[in-house]
Structure formats: structure tokens, C-alpha cells
Amino acid sequence: MAEHEPRPLIGITGPRHGALMPRGLVALGIWLAGGHPRQLYPGDAPEKLERLAGLVVTGGHDVDPVLYAAAPEVTPKIDTERDRFEAAAIDRMLERRRPLLGICRGAQLLNVRRGGSLFQELRSRRKHTSNRWTIFPLKTLLLERDSALHARIGCDRCRINSLHNQGIDRLGEGLRIAGRDLDGIVQAVEDPTARYVLGVQWHPEFLLYLSRQRRLFQGLIAAAHDPS
């Protein structure tokens, strides 16, 4: 970022209460990449979305299966107010063609807003990967070589963390799969027609000490500087 160039305003969505550490680390990732982070909460005025140059939708509660016309298969932890707010935020960013990064739940909700669906549990689908949640990069990501994500972070096989119990099933319209894990479970989706619309199942905010994970935020800020 040029020294005189203003920092683009990047919204960070999440629950109304809690999640202080991941929210704070996402804000740090945005700031290190040259952006100005702004925390947003369910119930905030829609006008706040109009001022944003980009958006990060963070992880957390399960996406309500009613949003993809499915019956509950497990007992989900749902935050209806957050679902409503973040669904509107994603829709508005896509309408305005502004850059968007969905993290974990954020990637799932992005997929749902594009008409996709989710696996409501992953334990039965894992054969080669652990069900253990970890903030450390102990799981393997296999990237599609022709994806924008591969070009951005520059590896065929990367190490990532994992804190999710749901995942992408039917792919949303206009999205493509950019990466999977060793069980073939989708770990990243992107819109190849957009300058930057990306959803990742892992948590890059806990991996800011790795340069390739910081590039996810750098790509968001670079796209936010480009109004086209």
C-alpha cells in the first residue's frame, strides 16, 4: 500500500457477544495488510454496510439449515439474529461487487447464499483426517492448481487448522472448489469471476505467523483498493 493511500474500511461480522480473540486477530490481519478494520454486530444499521470497501465474515455458530431448505439432522447451535444480519451483509457485498472473505461459518454461509447446501456433520465422512479441533496447522489442504487461491498462497499441499463440524455439500452457483482435505471435504471455494470472493473452512486469523495465511488478508485489501 502506498504511504499516502488511505486504508480501506473492512467490516468484520460475528456474534453480538463473545468471540473477542478471533475478531481481534482478524482485525490484526486486516491492519497488517493495510486495511482499517471495523467490527459489526447483528442489529447494526444497514447503512454501515454501504461504507465498507470489503467484508470478512468470521466463524462461530452453525448455519440454520432452514436457510438451505433442509431439516435438522443434528442439534445445531443457531444464532438466528446473526444468520439474518450476515446473510444480508453477504448479499449486499456481492451486489456491490466488493471483496469478501468468509472464514469457516462465513464460507458456509457464502455457499448457502449462492444456493448451495451443507453437510450438517462431518464425523461420519472423515476417514483419513482427525475430528479433533485444533488452532494449530496440523491438517492437510490440497489446492486446485488452476485456482486463484493456489496462485495467491503458492503451495500444492499446505498445512491448515480445523475448528468446524459442518462443511460444504452442494456447491453454490458461481462458486468453484479451490481446495479439499485428505477426505475430499471442501476446504475452500472461490468465485472465479470476482476480483476477490473467497471462503475458507480453516481459521487464518490463528495462523498470522505464516506468510501464506497473511496473503489471504493482503488479497482482500488489494481488491478493496480497486473499485472496478
The residue range of the domain holding 180 is 9-63+75-225
Burial zone of 99 (CB within 10 Å; 0-12 exposed, 13-18 middle, 19+ buried): buried
pTM: predicted TM-score of the whole model, two decimal places: 0.94
Q: Are 153 and 111 in contact (CB under 8 A)?
A: no
Q: Which three cell numbers stand for residue 57?
A: 465474515
- DSSP-derived 3-state class of residue 221: helix
Q: What is the mean pLDDT of the segment spanning 72-86?
A: 89
Q: Which entry of 36, 121, 205, 225 is annotated as an active-site residue?
A: 205
Element (H, E) at 93: helix 80-96
C-alpha grid cell, residue 129? 483426517
Q: Is 104 a catalytic residue?
A: yes
Round the average pLDDT of the chain to a whole number and report it: 93
Q: How many CB atoms lie within 10 A of CB 186?
A: 23
The pLDDT value recorded for residue 75 is 78
Region 135-152: mean pLDDT is 96
CATH number of 196's domain: 3.40.50.880
> Phi, psi (5° rounding) for residue 38?
-135, 115
- Is 158 among the residues known to form the active site? no
Taking phi first (over 0 means left), then psi (-120 to 50 degrees means alpha), and beta for anything else, what does residue 184 get?
Answer: left
Q: Is 134 exposed, middle or buried (0-12, 13-18, 19+ CB in 10 A)?
A: middle
Q: Which residues contact 88 (CB under 8 A, 6 or more apart)?
A: 46, 49
Domain assignment present for 4:
no
* Whole-angstrom distance, CA of residue 30 vs CA of residue 164: 22
Number of domains in the chain: 1
For residue 4, the model assigns a pLDDT of: 66
Which residue of the set 104, 150, 164, 190 is catalytic?
104
Q: What is the pLDDT of residues 191-227, one digit of tens each?
A: 999 999 999 999 999 999 999 999 999 999 999 998 6
Give domain status of residue 68, yes or no.
Answer: no
Active site residue: 3, 17, 203, 225, which one?
A: 203
**Has residue 58 been placed in a domain?**
yes
Q: Is residue 166 part of a domain?
A: yes
What does each C-alpha distance from 64 to 79, 109, 110, 118 come to in angstroms? 8, 9, 13, 10
> Is residue 70 a part of any domain in this protein?
no
pLDDT digits (tens, 9 = 90+) for 10-24: 999 999 999 999 999
Q: Is position 128 within any domain?
A: yes
| 69 inside domain | no
**Range 163-173 average pLDDT:** 93
Residue 2 lies in a domain: no
The answer to whether residue 47 is catalytic is no
pLDDT value, residue 77: 85
